[in-house]
Amino acid sequence: MLSPLAFIPAFPLLGFAILFVTAGLLPKRCITTIGVGSVGIAAILALIVMVAFLGAPKPYTEVVWTWIAVSGLTPHVGFYLDALSGLMMLVVAFVSFLIHLYSAEFMSTDEGYSRYFAYMNLFVASMLVLVLADNLLFLYLGWEGVGLCSYLLIGFWYRDPANGLAARKAFVVTRVGDTAMAIGLFVLFTNLGTLDIQPLMQHAVAHWPVGSTLPIVAAALLLGGALGKSAQLPLQTWLPDAMAGPTPVSALIHAATMVTAGVYLIARMHVLYGLAPPVQTAVAVIGALTLLLAGFSALNQTDLKRILAYSTISQIGYMFLALGVGAWSAAIFHFMTHAFFKALLFLSAGVVVQRLGEEHDIFKMGGLRGRLPLAFWTFLIGSISLAALPLIDAGFYSKDLILWEAWSDGTLGPWLWAAGLIGALLTAIYIFRAVFVVFFGPLKLEPTGLTGLRIAIPLVVLSILALVAGFVEIPPYLGNVPAFSQFMQSSLPAPPAPVSAGSILELMLSASAAVVAVLGVGIAYIAFRRRPAFLEALVRSPACLALQHFWETGWGLDWLYDRAVVRPFLWVARIDQGDVIDRFYSGLASLSQAAYRQLSESETGRVRRYATGITAGSIVLIAILVFA
């Protein structure tokens, strides 16, 4: 008897199969029912499974069948449920369902309606496979499935070559990380003889001493994969371009699927990272650098969706920072709150963009507060949560936890904390810059059309979650509700005991984070609402303009990669068009062409000549039979 666990990814996969095979021939109502319903069923099943798991919190594995069995490698199609994978599964399924519901209306006039839902369903199925897989090979299947779907969906409007280019960029850049991850899997398998995650972790602890070479190599290679998927330094360049897809796709990529895969992978393999302290430190440093870099870039974007894209990179940076200091459950906590408020921000931004006729530039918007009240309030709630304004929203509790545990981490701690704090200031400034520019001031573009119920419901539900989801983990000085970290403790170890838990210090650090967030909002208010003239005067100086351009283009990394990797590669490809191998194959081709020409000469069309051929052949054959 199979438990419902195995069916959770199966339903979206079935939805994909039906929509893919019928290729848009079904009536629209049918497509909506299948596309949204399959993910809805998955969400309901995930809820049932999690309620059962909360009743009896014991991790279990559900093996459906053996996938491959060759000389020692026997990965199963198996699903593993513990607190970590269960929470991920629930958030992924639930947020995906809301995004699907939103898409049903958002995409309703698109000609690729069926194709869209087919890809989205496959996306969700892949992500669920990724989080639930009990072995790394099956996880890798989901991992690649997610990559494929992101390619398909970023390039969804394929008639514009720029979209295809963005899709290819996303695919190729994440592929760099995926290759590292595949090699990491080989290292793990050849040295530990299994890919099943739980035995693998036990073997790793048993065979590898802390800080030895092999765990460092394996952890670093897996980190490469995580950096690619989660868009962290130095592989983050694909994410801002990934905005080429439809807005709900961005919401799905940023909130529920894809970019959080790297965070999940590291949390899942936390034992391995515990054996490789240098790599873990690298995770924290990369996270801190990324969150700063992306924060500065977000500050200078004019495209509403690109602001949110850089904000995602920055927030994932927080998660990596948390992972790097061993604050596993804080990272997953931030993943959860981020999933809610980032999905909310993207979906309400989608409403704004669509109602203004695909206008992305925030400086062409303005004064939309009264015209789009739903989008305004939901975007505001998302922004409050993203900026982590104190006490009232989910983002505050998760970010606060990360900052506190970063501070408590050894020698590097205060530096990481400072980076996080500056990041928090940047976050508040850039998101409220968007809020003030888009929703306040004079009206510049008149919105058209209407927003229906299927868009409103996901927005409202996500708004509520973005406000209250943080109350499952409240720090000691505010009432001490550690429900979330206690729940996570069964699969993720608690962070190393903080220097002075629950002390005045923690309260002060929290207070400074809160002050910084409020300060950020204040700066944004003064600079973009109260005194825009002052800022304009400031940025008119050439140094400022250069810096602004530098930040806007993502610290010139695109430029650097173009010069350092893409162009040399194209150059080599161009000058190497006629090398030995190519010559051999083109020689083969021209040889067969010449032979074809020679043989076709004999086809004269004269029946007597053919008859002569047959006769001669028969004579030779009979001669061989008789005389041989």
Binding residues for another protein (CB under 8 A): 599-608, 611-612, 615
State which residue, 591 or 611, has the beta carbon closest to another protein: 611
State which residue, 1 or 607, has the beta carbon closest to another protein: 607
Tell me the β-bridge partners of 78: 63
State which residue, 579 or 603, has the beta carbon closest to another protein: 603
Q: Report CA-CA distances (Å) from 354 to 99, 158, 260, 359, 409.
A: 16, 19, 26, 7, 45
* Smallest separation (angstroms) from another protein to the CB of 582: 30
* Smallest separation (angstroms) from another protein to the CB of 606: 5
Rounded distance, CA 252 to CA 261, Å? 12
State which residue, 497 or 607, has the beta carbon closest to another protein: 607
* Smallest separation (angstroms) from another protein to the CB of 591: 19
Rounded distance, CA 19 to CA 89, Å? 23
CB atoms within 10 A of CB 60: 13
State which residue, 577 or 604, has the beta carbon closest to another protein: 604
Q: Report CA-CA distances (Å) from 381 to 124, 363, 374, 377.
A: 26, 21, 11, 6
State which residue, 21 or 607, has the beta carbon closest to another protein: 607
Q: Hunting for tokens 């419901």 — which residue is that?
A: 457
* Smallest separation (angstroms) from another protein to the CB of 599: 8
* Smallest separation (angstroms) from another protein to the CB of 612: 5
Q: Report CA-CA distances (Å) from 221 to 332, 453, 516.
A: 22, 46, 36
State which residue, 202 or 612, has the beta carbon closest to another protein: 612
* Smallest separation (angstroms) from another protein to the CB of 615: 6
* Smallest separation (angstroms) from another protein to the CB of 589: 20
* Smallest separation (angstroms) from another protein to the CB of 611: 6
State which residue, 58 or 608, has the beta carbon closest to another protein: 608
State which residue, 577 or 600, has the beta carbon closest to another protein: 600
Rounded distance, CA 177 to CA 231, Å? 10
State which residue, 453 or 607, has the beta carbon closest to another protein: 607
Does residue 158 contact residue 164 with C-beta atoms inside 8 Å?
yes
Rounded distance, CA 115 to CA 111, Å? 9
Q: Hunting for tokens 């069916």 — which residue is that?
A: 7
H or E element that contains 186: helix 161-192
* Smallest separation (angstroms) from another protein to the CB of 602: 7
Among 230, 186, 243, 463, residue whose Cα is nearest residue 324 = 230
Q: Report CA-CA distances (Å) from 302 to 358, 397, 438, 530.
A: 14, 29, 11, 19
H or E element that contains 621: helix 607-627
- Phi, psi (deg, nearest 5) at residue 445: -125, 135
Q: Cβ neighbours of residue 133 under 8 Å, at least 6 residues apart?
A: 78, 79, 80, 139, 141, 142, 197
State which residue, 593 or 612, has the beta carbon closest to another protein: 612
Does residue 207 contact residue 180 with C-beta atoms inside 8 Å?
no
Q: Hunting for tokens 């079904």 — which residue is that?
A: 26
* Smallest separation (angstroms) from another protein to the CB of 570: 42
* Smallest separation (angstroms) from another protein to the CB of 624: 19
Rounded distance, CA 219 to CA 277, Å? 10
